[in-house]
């Protein structure tokens, strides 16, 4: 922590940032986020990756609210993303709701479904809750692969759901560049909302439940209501991410993006980024989205250099293995994730050159 900060008002004390350097970093990040699409406007692949990172960041923040802050393990992230995406898709393509209304509708609907899946958390803890959410994931996965969303019947085959191009004030939001701004605004709203939520009595109740639920109940926190609220709010943001996924770029919703592997990837994001840290969720989302992309381009480079082994055949296994290895190494050597590593770097330079 910085020393030499003297707060004389409550407002100063409540501020998120206290020092000029902290403000500087915030402004730097915002400027970079705004400048990125302008600089790389011609490079659609980079913009695609950026969009994926930002959407993943929204989903990861939602999941971190539940797992990192409230301590309720969920293996059902993919299912909640699916609920968000399919709701947004169904209301736009079947009922003609405009996309900007469909996204909040989808987020709210996911919140309701999420709270429903949260009901078992009243009776189950830890491992058992993890397995219950795994079952929920399988059930939702089954549903989206057997329900025809175009005809709204349980017919056995799903068929992809195609969405119309989002329009805003007569403008088509068809490219990655256009949609970047939509996603960025959603991410900023998510970060502001979640950071502030965590400072309210509800946010403190979440952490009390995580740290010791019995003690929390003795202190007058209703664990059932708090857990349901956590599931609901968390699912709201996950649903938002899902709805954004449905709307941008290809605008086709298929079940492959919502399997149990996706749930695991999101859990990996928040563990690698840092459990119980909003900024950590963003770091983790960027890391886990960029890792396969980097390995892909590494594979392309190797292929181009004329390596004797066939790289494309190995690449899926390399990605899967590196994915697992990164999870295991982070859990063993830095369980608090990238957020902690970054804090270490800051602490080092704060004391530099006179560290202890």
What residues make contact with another protein under the rule CB under 8 A? 67, 71, 73, 120, 122-128, 130-132, 134-136, 138-139, 142, 145-146, 154-157, 213-214, 217, 223, 260, 264, 267-268, 271, 275, 313-314, 317-321, 323-328, 331-332, 335
b/e burial code for range 249-270 (CB count within 10 A of at least 16 → b):
bebebebebbbbebbbbbbbbb
Residues 6+ apart with CB under 8 A from 46: 40
Nearer to another protein, 193 or 318 (CB): 318
Nearer to another protein, 163 or 285 (CB): 285
Nearer to another protein, 178 or 217 (CB): 217
Nearer to another protein, 122 or 168 (CB): 122
Q: In whole angstroms, give the CA distance from residue 247 to residue 335.
A: 35
Q: CB of 311: closest distance to another protein in angstroms? A: 12
Nearer to another protein, 148 or 249 (CB): 148
Q: CB of 199: closest distance to another protein in angstroms? A: 23
Contact indicator for 209, 147 with CB cutoff of 8 Å: no
Q: CB of 130: closest distance to another protein in angstroms? A: 6
Q: CB of 338: closest distance to another protein in angstroms? A: 15
Strands 252-253 and 161-162: antiparallel
Contact indicator for 156, 146 with CB cutoff of 8 Å: yes
Q: CB of 220: closest distance to another protein in angstroms? A: 14
Nearer to another protein, 97 or 264 (CB): 264
Q: What's the token pair of residue 186?
A: 């959603």
Nearest to 278 by CA among 343, 171, 191: 191
Contact indicator for 2, 350 with CB cutoff of 8 Å: yes
H or E element: which one contains 167? strand 167-168
Q: CB of 258: closest distance to another protein in angstroms? A: 15
């Amino acid at each position: 922590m910085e020393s030499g900060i003297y707060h004389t008002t409550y407002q100063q004390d409540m501020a998120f940032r206290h020092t000029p350097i902290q403000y500087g970093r915030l402004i730097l990040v915002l400027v970079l986020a705004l400048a990125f699409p302008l600089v790389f406007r011609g490079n659609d692949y980079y913009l695609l990756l950026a969009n994926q990172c930002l959407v993943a960041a929204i989903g990861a923040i939602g999941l971190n609210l539940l797992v990192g802050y409230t301590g309720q393990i969920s293996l059902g992230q993919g299912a909640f993303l699916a609920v968000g995406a399919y709701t947004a898709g169904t209301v736009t393509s079947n009922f003609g709701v405009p996309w900007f209304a469909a996204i909040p509708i989808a987020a709210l609907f996911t919140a309701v479904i999420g709270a429903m899946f949260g009901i078992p958390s009243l009776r189950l803890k830890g491992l058992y809750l993890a397995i219950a959410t795994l079952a929920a994931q399988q059930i939702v996965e089954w549903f989206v692969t057997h329900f025809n969303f175009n005809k709204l019947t349980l017919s056995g085959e799903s068929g992809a759901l195609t969405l119309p191009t989002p329009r805003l004030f007569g403008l088509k939001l068809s490219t990655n560049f256009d949609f970047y701004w939509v996603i960025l605004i959603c991410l900023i709203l998510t970060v502001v909302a979640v950071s502030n939520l965590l400072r309210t009595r509800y946010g403190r109740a979440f952490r009390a439940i995580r740290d010791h639920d019995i003690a929390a109940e003795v202190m007058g926190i209703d664990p059932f209501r708090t857990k349901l609220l956590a599931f609901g709010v968390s699912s709201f943001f996950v649903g938002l991410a899902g709805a954004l996924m449905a709307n941008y770029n290809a605008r086709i919703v298929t079940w492959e993006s919502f399997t149990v592997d996706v749930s695991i990837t999101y859990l990996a994001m928040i563990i690698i980024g840092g459990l119980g840290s909003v900024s950590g969720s963003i770091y983790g989302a960027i890391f886990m989205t960029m890792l396969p992309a980097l390995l892909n381009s590494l594979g392309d480079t190797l292929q181009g250099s004329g390596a004797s082994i066939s790289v494309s055949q190995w690449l899926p296994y390399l990605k899967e293995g590196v994915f697992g290895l990164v999870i295991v190494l982070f859990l063993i050597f830095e369980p608090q994730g990238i957020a902690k590593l970054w804090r270490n770097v800051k602490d080092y330079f704060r004391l530099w050159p006179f560290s202890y």
